[in-house]
Amino acid sequence: MIVTPEILKLPSDWQAVPASEHLTLESGQRPSQHVTDDPNDVPSWGGENITDDGFITLENQRFINREYFRTKGKGKVRVGDILVNKDGANTGKVAFVDSLPVAEVSVNEHVFIVRNKGEFDQRFLFDFLRSYLGQKQIKALIIGSAQPGLNTRFTKHVLLPKTDIDEQRRIGRLFVEIDSAITAARQSITTTEGLQKGLMQRLLTGRLKPDGTRRLASEFWTHPKAGLVSKGWEVSPLKRLAEIQRGKFSHRPRNEPRFFGGPYPFIQTADIVASRGYIRQHSQILSEEGRVISRMFPRGTIMITIAANIGDTAILAYDMFATDSVIGITPKENCVCVCGKGSWNECPLSRLKPTSIIATCAHCSLRTR
């Protein structure tokens, strides 16, 4: 996509300017002989440390020794820098560095550090680069297929919207407030999920009763494999209680256009990972030809990934077809929820939030009639 000043549709007192006239690009290095596992050394960030939504993640950090870091001239990260993933599957992802975990941080050769020459607010610039028009321009400039990437000349073909610096800063501060609200919401979700997991562990093993009281030692019996089990509970193999089927889509290449574009919802591992427990939307649709080579799973099926992100779990909100990198678990007809109010799909618990469905029925709350 070639973005012109007309496509940007800027106010009359704004300008569309070439990024190459206002930005500098810089990369670092992470030679294998200088990589360490010592967290006291210098963090070396790569594309894996840039999240899809513009944040820096410190998970899976790599490190380089401090002596090498201090002798090299480039790739040293500062607060306010913009990082761009320059190659690989996630080329074009951007992140804003609003703080550093330690005084010295570097980037490797797969990341550009983007700074402006003085006429832009870095936060304003970052929010444009991650916007629809910013990303459209960047993605259109990716070269190569086996190992796609951006070279240092890509800024010559990117247009930036430019207004006076004070207005840029006001806009940038607005986005900071929005991101702060997002971060706070995520922290709240993380805290709540931690509480939920703790309760799941105790409720689903019978340590706690549904009313929150603890079971006494005398209220358990010992199973040779499962250990302590609440009296009145049974232990059964999953295959006795549920149908386990693998999804289908073995045709290669997978992306043949004739298999897509029809009315049939189709999910892959990424849909399960992104679902947060309940698959309410699909990213692709199959044609009649695609439907024939895939497998459909009914609403309420528990889907588990068995490739890439192994073990991610979610419930189908409606009937969907699935790829062969997931399995579907569907309770058999002779199974009911321990609530005693009907089969899996009839159980009133299915109207609760998805994590409640998983906790209550997928793990241990099925019993035979």
- Residues 155, 248 share a domain: no
- For residue 259, being part of any structural domain is answered with yes
Is residue 278 domain-shared with residue 157, that is, in the same domain? no
If asked whether residues 25 and 136 sit together in one domain, one would say yes
- Judge if 169 and 246 occupy the same domain: no
Kindly state whether residue 190 falls inside one of the protein's structural domains. no
pLDDT in tens, 170-180: 999 999 999 89
Which of 136, 156, 173 is the last residue before a domain boundary?
Answer: 173
Whether 250 and 102 share a structural domain: no
CA separation for the pair 110, 148 (Å, rounded): 11
> Rounded CA gap, 294 and 49, in Å?
35
Q: Is residue 327 situated within a structural domain?
A: yes
Flag whether 37 is in a domain: yes
Residue 338: pLDDT over 60: no
Whether residue 152 sits in one domain with residue 267: no
What's the predicted TM-score (pTM) here?
0.60
- 198, part of any domain: no
d(CA 150, CA 110): 10
- Residue 86: is its pLDDT beyond 80? yes
Joined tokens for residue 204: 């689903």
Residue 183 lies in a domain: no
Q: Tens of pLDDT along 191-214?
A: 998 888 888 888 888 889 888 899
Host domain of residue 257: 236-368
Q: What CATH number does residue 350 fall under?
A: 3.90.220.20
Amino acid at 110: H
Question: How far is the C-alpha of 348 from the C-alpha of 240, rounded, in Å?
Answer: 23
Could you give the CA distance from residue 49 to residue 56 in angstroms, rounded to a whole number? 6
CA atoms of 97 and 81, how far apart (whole Å): 5
pLDDT digits (tens, 9 = 90+) for 228-262: 899 988 888 888 888 999 999 988 887 788 999 99
C-alpha span between 341 and 320 (Å, rounded):
26
For residue 337, give the amino acid letter. C
pLDDT, tens only, 274-301: 887 899 988 899 999 999 999 999 999 9
CA-atom Rg of the chain in angstroms? 26
Last residue of a domain, one of 145, 173, 201: 173
Residue-wise pLDDT for 258-275, tens only, equals: 999 999 999 999 899 888
Contact 344, 328 (CB under 8 A): no
pLDDT at 169 > cutoff 90? yes
Q: Check whether residue 56 and residue 160 sit in a common domain.
A: yes
| Position 256 in a domain | yes
Q: 9 with 146, same domain? A: yes
Shared-domain flag, residues 143 and 254: no
User: What pLDDT does residue 239 have?
Assistant: 85
Query: How far is the C-alpha of 336 from the C-alpha of 365, rounded, in Å?
Result: 8
Q: Is residue 204 part of a domain?
A: no
Domain count, the chain: 2
pLDDT of residue 73: 79
Angle (CA) 285 290 293, round 5°: 135
Q: Do 21 and 160 share a domain, yes or no?
A: yes
The pLDDT value given to residue 143: 78
* pLDDT at residue 349 is higher than 70: no
Residues 240 and 167 in one domain: no
- Please tell me whether residues 265 and 162 are part of one structural domain: no
pLDDT at position 279 is 93
Burial class of 218 by CB neighbour count within 10 A (0 to 12, 13 to 18, 19+): exposed
Label the pairing between strands 82-85 and 15-18: unpaired
Domain end among 156, 173, 190: 173
What average pLDDT does this structure show over 101-116?
95
